Structure 1
Amino acid sequence: MAFEPFLQLLRGIQGKRTHNGLGGIQNSQQIAYLRHLQKEINQEELNVALQNLHVVVFDIETTGFFPEKGDSILSIGATKMRGSEMIEGETFYSLVQYGEVIPDEIQQLTGITNEQVKDAPPLAEVMIKFFQYAKDHTFVAHHASHEKSFLQYVSSKQFRTPFKHRIVDTSFLYKIVEPNLNLISLESLCQHNGIPIENRHHALGDAMMTAKLWSIYVEKVQQIGCETLNDVYNRFARL
């Protein structure tokens, strides 16, 4: 992917912080940059062998569940994988600037305080860094509808461009492997698979646990004959 010509532009963008709009910076250079990233997204990942599929497993912590009602992203954490293998050293984490008071229950749940996010990078800057990190990789998340709704909203409102990355929900895998399994939460699925519960409700901690789940179930779906995401979707549709 042709990211290098945009690195100098990105540095210039990062030096022009303002504090209006959804998360900070709003200018034509940012919008053009993100649109370029979106255009470069690989559209052939459905037919890539799962053992070779490059994914970014990620998680976000937010002030609530409804971005259209004013809830905001407080942090993003992610790790990269190829097939069932995590790529060592390829993680991403950032807090996000938030100019209002974080609800007490969210502070208690996530451990993120008002002081921590006061001087954190603005949302637009964090999102550009995150998309640059992710490149054209397929996204993976646990209960992905939450992550998808926020990223779609941010892409539309912050950058005026549609969100084009594919997000694969972990449930697509574990439900076809264990269709009678009634576990839903990240904790319960990790316990079921012998994965230690560490740094829960921390974006990077949750992303790492989700990555371990993905690793286990990628190997299991291959054992039942699913070689690609297309196979996974077809099998899931028949449940």
Structure 2
Amino acid sequence: MAFEPFFHFMRGIKGRMQGTGLGSAYGGQDLQQIAYVRNLQKEMKQSDALYEPLNQLKVVIFDIETTGFFPEQGDEIISIGAVKMVGATICEDTFYSLIRCEKELSEKIEQLTGLNSEQLKEAPALADVMAQFYHFAKDSTLVAHHAKHEKSFLQSVNWKLFRTPFKYRIVDTSFLYRIAEPECRFNRLEELCEYNRIPVVDRHHALGDAKLAAELWRIYIQKVQDSGCNTLQDVYHRMAKQS
């Protein structure tokens, strides 16, 4: 993966800025990194994505693992995984990183994710990982399974680290299967995978879950096109009619 040089580049900038004392105004965040992330977000062509044909749409399917459900109460992201797709084609380009967490993980989270506190204490800092992730996803539309969880954490992280609102669109995979199969009552990722005969492997691993969600997107992007939706704009209009 080509992120190692990028990671060292960002670490180098961070060290130089902290040496000047300029990072202290943002709780240790260096101003170069903040400016870099803000600039990446300005380059995101969200409006164009609405009208891109679904069979050509570039997306990044991603998933996060967290210590809980409430970022406003101090819960943290501990890993993030992502897969690139173009239309219904899953690309080999993936992203995965653990994220530093100084708190001790609960036994429940350790059992669920397979991660432990010692691993996370040695992991890269959240700001570094998020800068890498935004770089990875900069020319794509973000997609997540039941995206409310991901969106709430990224909104919190963006403001805390980079002092900017999170303006990136996140498309929920449920938009597609609610259009393609409105009678389907499955919601959980593993249920939908089993229903669509997708082998469930590496569940509750951020990259594993991202790969499972990508398989669902691959199937349902074709189904919604067969139903007459050719763009995200069409998907949103159909969802509005069904509401």
With the length of structure 1 as denominator, give the TM-score of the two structures: 0.92
Write the letter of the residue equivalent to 1:222.
Q
CA distance in 2, matches of 1:61, 1:16: 31
**Could you tell me which residue of structure 1 aligns to residue 3 of structure 2?**
none
2:66 counterpart residue number? 62
Q: For residues 173 and 12 of structure 1, what CA distance do their matches in structure 2 show?
A: 42
Structure 1 residue 135 displacement after superposition: 1.1
2:85 to 81, 84, 109: 81
Runs of 4+ in 1 over 2 A off after TM superposition: 6-18
- Aligned pairs for 1:125-144 within 5 A: 125-144=128-147
**Can you give the 5+ residue segments of structure 2 that lack an aligned partner in the other structure?**
1-5
CA distance in 2, matches of 1:106, 1:210: 21
Write the letter of the residue equivalent to 1:110: T
Contact 1:84 1:218 in 2 (8 A): yes
Which aligned pairs between 1:90-169 and structure 2 lie closer than 5 A? Answer: 90-169=93-172
**Bigger share in helix:** 2
Residue in structure 1 matching 2:29, options 26, 29, 50: 26
- Work out whether residues 96 and 121 of structure 1, in 8 Å CA contact, stay in contact via their aligned partners in 2: yes
CA contact (8 A) 2:7 2:132 kept: no
Q: Percent of aligned pairs with the same residue?
A: 58
Are the aligned partners of 1:14 and 1:125 in contact in 2 as well (CA < 8 Å)? no
CA change 1:8–1:124 in 2 (3 A) is closer
Cα distance in 2, alignment partners of residues 126 and 101 from structure 1: 20
Q: Alpha carbons of 1:112 and 1:17: their partners in 2 closer, same or farther (altered >3 Å)?
A: farther
Shift of 1:9: 6.1
Distance 1:86 1:16, change over 3 A: farther
Residue 35 of structure 1 corresponds to 38
C-alpha contact 1:41 1:164 (8 A) present in aligned 2: no
Q: SS at the partner of 2:55? A: helix
8 Å contact kept, 1:102–1:113:
yes
**Mapping of 1:40-51 within 5 angstroms?**
40-43=43-46, 44-51=48-55
Hey, what does 2:241 align to over in structure 1?
238
**TM-score, scaled to structure 2:** 0.90
Task: For structure 1, list consecutive stretches of 5 or more residues without a partner in the other structure.
Answer: 1-5
